[in-house]
């Protein structure tokens, strides 16, 4: 029930804040001649709206724990910060997972569309920097809280760990499908990443550890994009 409420709140927040951000942006002289449809693909509008919506979702999560469970938030979601050795291993594992993603997508590249919806947000260097900051700082924290902090334990209690890992990983991949044109190769890869993240959370009982892996994974991908585009200045190479 808590997970359903969080998902519903997240969807409403993203739609409402997204619409509000587009309306505010369209009223500004800088974007006055830009259509609302084009604004949905503007990184400044997108990142601003999603950041606000994600913060609202975290606030909603905190309130659910306080009102319904009456316990400390981080204890309730099994945050459990790892020791320094485990943290370093998590960061290294996330970077390694990102490197393997390049091999995986290269080997199956003929089944990946040449252009994905997410590519449209990388208009220029400023857009890329904004997306990188969101992808490294905001998204891993909120997504891990939702999927590994709330969804996984909610499923594990009635159906067991193994099935819960697979379902959580599938939900994680489905969440990103619109960004990936519903293409099966990148979705399969995200499912595999989700399996790794959820398995780590299950084994370590630490959402913080899965957050570190997620952060390192996203950061490594953006670092390689940064290098490959010469500092985000040749985004046509993405």
Q: Give the C-alpha separation, 212 to 90, whole Å.
A: 6
For every residue of 174-198, DSSP letters joined together read: HHTGGGGTT-HHHHHHHHHHHHHHH
pLDDT tens per residue, range 58-81: 999 999 998 887 788 999 999 999
Predicted structure pTM score: 0.93
User: Which of the two residues, 77 and 237, has the higher pLDDT score?
Assistant: 77
* All structural domains of the chain with their residue ranges: 1-73, 77-238
């Amino acid at each position: 029930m808590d997970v359903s409420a969080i998902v519903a709140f997240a969807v409403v927040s993203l739609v409402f804040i997204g619409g509000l951000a587009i309306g505010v942006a369209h009223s500004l002289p800088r974007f006055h001649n830009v259509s609302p449809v084009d604004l949905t693909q503007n990184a400044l509008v997108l990142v601003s709206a999603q950041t606000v919506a994600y913060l609202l979702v975290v606030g909603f999560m905190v309130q659910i724990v306080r009102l319904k469970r009456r316990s400390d938030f981080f204890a309730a979601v099994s945050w459990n910060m790892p020791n320094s050795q485990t943290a370093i291993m998590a960061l290294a594992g996330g970077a390694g997972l990102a490197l393997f993603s390049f091999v995986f997508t290269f080997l199956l590249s003929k089944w990946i569309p040449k252009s994905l919806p997410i590519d449209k947000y990388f208009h220029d260097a400023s857009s890329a920097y904004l997306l990188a900051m969101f992808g490294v700082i905001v998204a891993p924290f909120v997504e891990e809280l939702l999927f590994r902090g709330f969804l996984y334990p909610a499923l594990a209690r009635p159906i067991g760990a193994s099935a819960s890992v697979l379902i959580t990983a599938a939900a994680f991949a489905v969440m990103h499908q619109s960004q990936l044109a519903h293409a099966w190769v990148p979705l399969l890869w995200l499912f595999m990443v989700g399996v790794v993240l959820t398995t780590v959370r299950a084994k370590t009982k630490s959402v913080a550890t899965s957050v570190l892996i997620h952060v390192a994974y996203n950061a490594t991908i953006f670092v390689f994009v940064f290098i490959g585009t010469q500092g985000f200045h040749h985004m046509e190479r993405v």
